Structure 1
């Protein structure tokens, strides 16, 4: 069940998102370029097409979040 702290933790995570995103600008740009390049026109993004770039972005976010906790 959800408790009163669930929403507080969620809001805190959303509040720090821009800070984490700023630390991963290069990875975010690379992922965005990949998505944009592979979805020209009406083409849909398919699974694992930009997996390498997504993993780099995910790793950066994880590392940035770990640094913030310490």
Structure 2
């Protein structure tokens, strides 16, 4: 049996890794390229979340956990809908 290529880290059980590094990065880049277009459909929600965070941190204030939770959830839900719609096409 030949040794695993030097660019491929062996799995913990001593076998060759299941995924090549290049394939993983190519898929990740393809998803990241779609991100701006998907987020573009959620401009209103992104602006609302940005306004909330900016208002919370204005004047040296601290952004508190869950301070903008409602706006964040609206943005997350919009993005999930846009990603699901893109996956169907």
TM-score above 0.5: yes
**Superposition pairs for residues 1-70 of structure 1, below 5 Å?**
3=20, 4-70=22-88
Q: Higher RCO, 1 or 2 (CA under 8 Å, sep at least 6)?
A: 1
Q: CA RMSD in A?
A: 1.3
- Give, in whole Å, the separation in 1 of the partners of 2:62 and 2:27: 34
Which has a greater percent of helix? Answer: 1
Segments of 5+ residues of structure 2 without an aligned counterpart are: 1-16
Aligned length: 70
Q: Structure 1 stretches (4+) deviating beyond 6 angstroms?
A: none
- Kindly name which structure, 1 or 2, has the bigger radius of gyration based on alpha carbons: 2
